[in-house]
Amino acid sequence: MEIIIGSIPPLAPQSQKVPAKGATFIEAQLLHIRPPRKGIAGPSGRERRQKQAQDPLKGRVLTIMIPDASLLPPDIETARYDVSIRLIRK
């Protein structure tokens, strides 16, 4: 038998990555996956989209649904946010 007085149990190792200020985890459901956009030419042969953007060739577009929109920041449509996803198999 070992008796140790005045010590605390060892702490579990903490992860090295500290989440950024204001970072929150929001659960979402994956609804649809589609390939990246291709050019959409109108009748004149020019691109119909106003914003000039090109999707990466190996990219995929994910449609997700957030069940509780109150968890999203109020300026989600006007501000730029970095979004990270973690995929967990059900």
pLDDT at 46: 64
pLDDT at 42: 62
pLDDT at 80: 82
* 3-state secondary structure at position 15: coil
Q: Tell me the pTM.
A: 0.54
Q: List the structure tokens of 87.
A: 């995929």
pLDDT at 73: 85
d(C-alpha 34, C-alpha 80), whole Å = 23
d(C-alpha 9, C-alpha 13), whole Å = 12
pLDDT at 53: 67
Q: List the structure tokens of 48.
A: 């119909």
pLDDT at 25: 84
Low-confidence ranges of the chain (pLDDT < 70): 1-12, 14-23, 39-53
Of 30, 32, 33, 34, the C-alpha closest to 67 is 30
Please state, in angstroms and as integers, the Cα–Cα distance from residue 52 to each residue in 46, 58, 66, 67, following that order: 12, 19, 28, 31
